[in-house]
Amino acid sequence: MFENQKILPAVRNMKDFETFLKSHYDYGVFLELHMSQIKAVFEMAKMKEKKMFLHADLVQGLKNDEYAAEYLCQEVEPYGLISTKASVILKARQKGVKAIQRIFILDSNALKRNIMLIQKAQPDFVEVLPGLIPKVIKEIHVKTARDVFAGGLIDTVDEVEEALNAGAKAVTTSNTSLWRHFHR
């Protein structure tokens, strides 16, 4: 899966979406979409054979709960959903849609709580934010047996390489210069 794609481009606006559509990347992430845009942008992505994750918590005009997840899975049919909420992860998995549990690591207590949440929800992948802490990437991968994506605050090629060397499957980033650098 991901055909050794080191970067998961995270699209924040239509200009970046156009850049992504022209790229050779197969997988990407939609962030901060308005509910009225969802169907149209997913249709455009599907026409270009792009497999898109949708950050369910950031859809404007849609509550981020299991009912919204069910709607998105049935009506939009994303490749996957991203959420901080276990109920959204569980619904996505139930509907056969890939699920990424997004977690924020603020301290060792948050790390412990999030590992327990991952073990309960059993997402397909885990996105760790900030993605600049190699030992946390390794620990989450080892303790949960899940592929880990690193995201948040990663701005340089060296930081991407550090995350990948720590065991991250890929790095999610909205930084288009990193998209270009790691383009396959």
Q: What torsion do the CA atoms of 147, 13, 77, 91 make, to the nearest 10 degrees?
A: 50
DSSP letter at 61 equals T
In this predicted model, what pLDDT tens digit does every residue of 92-103 receive, in sequence order? 999 999 999 999
How many domains does the chain contain in total? 1
In this predicted model, what pLDDT tens digit does every residue of 13-55 receive, in sequence order? 999 999 999 999 999 999 999 999 999 999 999 999 999 999 9
Q: What torsion do the CA atoms of 132, 136, 141, 144 make, to the nearest 10 degrees?
A: -130
Domain CATH for 65: 3.20.20.70
Range of the domain at 122: 2-181
